[in-house]
Amino acid sequence: MSVSFLYFSGFAIALVFALVLTPLVKKFAFAVGAIDKPNHRKVHTRIMPRLGGLAIYVAFAAGLLILLPFAPEGLFDSSDMNLIRAMLAGGTLIVLIGALDDRYELSAKVKLVGQLAAACIVVFGFDVKINFVNIPFGGSMQSIAEWISIPLTVFWIVGVTNAINLIDGLDGLASGVSGIAIGTILVMATLMGFEPIILMSALLLGGIIGFLFFNFHPAKIFMGDSGSLFLGFSLAMMSMLAFKQITIVSFVTPLLIIGVPLSDTFFAIVRRLVNKKPIFAPDKGHLHHCLRELGFSHRKTVLIIYGIAAFFGACAIIQAVVIRSDAANWVTFVVVCLLVFGLQIGAELIGIVDKTKRPVINFIQRTLLRVDTESRSK
């Protein structure tokens, strides 16, 4: 089997598995009582089945098990297989924790313990961790001590896993944004020739698209925590490893890949601190809530956020392409500055932190008014 056919087959197999399994998972969710009931914080108005993440996970895992025996000899070395096994082992535990939460609504502490356990399996069981970083304007790649590497890796995995979970508030939102991020990783891994990430990205993308057929508005099933946690874990692993130890690209690139969930999580933390509320307290101030309040329909809100995610993905690809050039550090600096400025302006316009305070916009308006007044006086 040729390499390109292997990757295409992986996408197709996962897509078919997800299309076939999702209706079966829907029936299973109703049978075991894994359902989501409407309340004041939720958009849906009827009881919905959860557990949809099982379809994505099984499509991914089954695709791997089917295709690996047919992979060309020498395509994956021992290090590559170690990454794949780490992804399967940690992902299986994450899906189990998410599925139990979909049925029994576990406490936040229990879920956090499960996520930490999955991260520890990856780090200590398979010795997969961030060992080097390429710091802009720092010259060559910098090795980091193990006492920093281990907690940094665990923090990254747990943080990104929860970031995807936080944006899972509208039909097709978390699955679509995750699909765009996975697609970005697939493009970058293809450009860099990192075979295990190409295969896993193709499988995940096929599973997500197959599931999205049933999850896009109006959704027939929710992916639940089994899906959002698994996709978050997968994104954490592959955004960290898609470039052979993150060393080939700046540390900024993985942040861009998952820019939407990370920025929404950041603003959620700031919003709760400003309003003197617990950081983990749920609210209706996330990006999708703010866009809905501005009058956008359910479908348009999701499509707008898809567009933002695609923009972040494009920036990540551009960043990865130019990273080896002499101007790479300056490109990184300019991209980060423009994105931070754009995020702040966007946050103030939609009121994601505070509906009344717009410090940067007010400063710009005052500055323009002063310049206009001075020019008129002359």
Taking the C-alpha atoms of residue 205 and residue 133, their distance in angstroms, rounded to an integer, is 27
Residues making up the annotated binding site are 165, 225
| Amino acid code (one letter) for 7 | Y
98 neighbors 234 (Cβ within 8 angstroms): no
DSSP-derived secondary structure for 252-279: HHHHHHTHHHHHHHHHHHHHHHHTT--T
Burial code (b: 16+ CB inside 10 Å, e: under 16) for 86-118 equals: bbeebbebbbbbbbbbbbeebeeeebbebbeeb
Please state at what angle helix 195-215 crosses helix 173-192, rounded to 10 degrees.
Answer: 160
Query: Checking DSSP bridges between strand 142-143 and strand 132-133, what pairing results, if any?
Result: antiparallel
206 neighbors 11 (Cβ within 8 angstroms): yes
Rg from Cα positions in the chain: 21
Taking the C-alpha atoms of residue 120 and residue 277, their distance in angstroms, rounded to an integer, is 30
**φ, ψ at 57 (rounded to 5°):** -65, -50
**Which residues contact residue 146 at a Cβ distance below 8 angstroms, ignoring those fewer than 6 apart?**
none
176 neighbors 217 (Cβ within 8 angstroms): no
Taking the C-alpha atoms of residue 191 and residue 296, their distance in angstroms, rounded to an integer, is 37
127 neighbors 85 (Cβ within 8 angstroms): no
| Amino acid code (one letter) for 346 | G
Task: Tell me the residue length of the chain.
Answer: 378
98 neighbors 230 (Cβ within 8 angstroms): yes
Residues making up the annotated binding site for Mg(2+) are 165, 225
Query: Which three-class secondary structure string do you get for 147-205?
Result: HHHHHHHHHHHHHHHHHHHHCCCCCCHHHHHHHHHHHHHHHHHHHHCCHHHHHHHHHHH
> Which SS3 state, helix, strand or coil, does residue 47 take?
coil
